[in-house]
Amino acid sequence: MRREPARAAMAEDPSGSGAIKARVARVRPRRFTRERIGMIGGLALALVWLVELQGTNAEPPLQCVRGATGVIATSLTFSPDGSRMATADLRGGVVLRGVASRWEAIEHLDFPGIARATAFSPDGRFLAAGGAARNVRLWELEAGRSPLSRDLPIRGCKALAFAPDGGTLAATTDPGVDIVLWDLAAHRPRRVLRGRFQALSLAFSPDGRSLVSGEVEEKSIAIWDLPTGRRQEVNRESGGPIASVAISPDGTLCAAACPWESPVQLWDLRTGRRVRVLEGHTIGTNAVAFSPDGRMIATAGSDSFVRLWTVANGELRARLNGQGLCLTHLAIAPQGDLIAATGFDNDIRLWAVR
């Protein structure tokens, strides 16, 4: 009778070492084949993942305006006509950029210190900037001449917002918990709102009668009735700083972003009822903005993605890969055809959307 190779090896080598060698020699090709299959499968999965990431930028394409290396952006704002953009970063000063220059810098505006917030007036005539300086600086922008500036005695500003009529500028204060409503024509405070904690974000309602503020340490969002100064609270059911708030163009919805949380919540401003939760960012969400027609909402997260959602049903429309570090600031052009975002690397990402 014919003996099997391993059994024959055992007979010749009673210690069994030869049998082990024979067995290893026999199975080695099979094990190598399985490892190759596993490696090929892993590479295929990685390729699918990379294709998915790249596909998020296939439409719309990504344009990137390079910022200074190692500098963090602190603000990003479009002008009302969409022709200009104001940006600021930790180097100090404010930079005006223009669509004609492909968003490269066209003018550097002097600001004492680091500008933490910028805002254009609704008619585009003024640009305001605030930060750790003793004053909020206001520039009058007029074609053909250098911007004229004046200072408003509001210290430690981290958020700014112009009222829809352009007559009032809301500004937060630091130290302190006040929100100053500055009358631009009279050059004095119109009202001071006393908050519970320091406000980090502000947004006016379209009719100018309400102001929403997101605070640094609060489980609610404050809705201020400006004619009376009364404060109404919308419960978030969680804590953490509100880095960004936005109100829909029809004035019915409010959205808020918190760097400590990945979901973005939407509330009905009239009832204070939460109507939707947008879940998609893998880390925290730092900025939120409604499109001009109110049909879409954009969010920017620490995962370096911008996500576009349908407001009516909360459906994710697109995932835009910022291809870099965490995104902290977001803006949608007034025409709704361009989205800009920036963050820890100071590069400005631009997506043309339809």
**CATH label of the domain that carries residue 113:** 2.130.10.10
Q: Determine, yes or no, domain membership for 56.
A: no
pTM of the model: 0.82
173 and 285 in a common domain: yes
Edge to edge, what strands does the sheet with 94-98 contain?
73-78, 84-89, 94-98, 105-109
Query: Would you place residue 3 in the very low, low, confident or very high pLDDT band (cuts 50, 70, 90)?
Result: very low
- Total domains in the chain come to 2
Residue 291 or 19, more confident: 291
Answer yes or no: is pLDDT of 21 > 70. no
Least confident of 5-14, 41-50, 260-269: 41-50
Query: Would you place residue 317 in the very low, low, confident or very high pLDDT band (cuts 50, 70, 90)?
Result: very high
223 and 118 in a common domain: yes
Query: Would you place residue 214 in the very low, low, confident or very high pLDDT band (cuts 50, 70, 90)?
Result: very high
Kindly compute the dihedral angle of the four CA atoms of residues 15, 17, 19, 25, in this order, to the nearest 10 degrees: 180
CA distance 133 to 116: 10
Across residues 61-65, what is the average pLDDT? 93
Answer yes or no: is pLDDT of 119 > 80. yes
Q: Determine, yes or no, domain membership for 233.
A: yes
Q: Determine, yes or no, domain membership for 55.
A: no
109 and 27 in a common domain: no
Contact 240, 256 (CB under 8 A): no
Q: Determine, yes or no, domain membership for 141.
A: yes
85 and 41 in a common domain: no
User: What single-letter amino acid sits at 336?
Assistant: G
Answer yes or no: is pLDDT of 54 > 80. no
Q: Determine, yes or no, domain membership for 285.
A: yes
For residue 103, the model assigns a pLDDT of 97
23 and 134 in a common domain: no
For residue 120, the model assigns a pLDDT of 98
73 and 35 in a common domain: no
Q: Determine, yes or no, domain membership for 167.
A: yes
Q: What size, in residues, is the chain?
A: 354
For residue 209, the model assigns a pLDDT of 96
Q: Determine, yes or no, domain membership for 57.
A: no
- 60 preceded by a cis bond (ω within 30 of 0): yes
69 and 38 in a common domain: no
Answer yes or no: is pLDDT of 106 > 80. yes
41 and 146 in a common domain: no
Answer yes or no: is pLDDT of 27 > 50. no
72 and 35 in a common domain: no
Domain hosting 102: range is 62-352
Distance between start and end Cα atoms, the chain: 80
153 and 11 in a common domain: no
79 and 44 in a common domain: no
153 and 87 in a common domain: yes
Mean pLDDT comparison of 19-33, 47-61, 240-254, highest-scoring range: 240-254
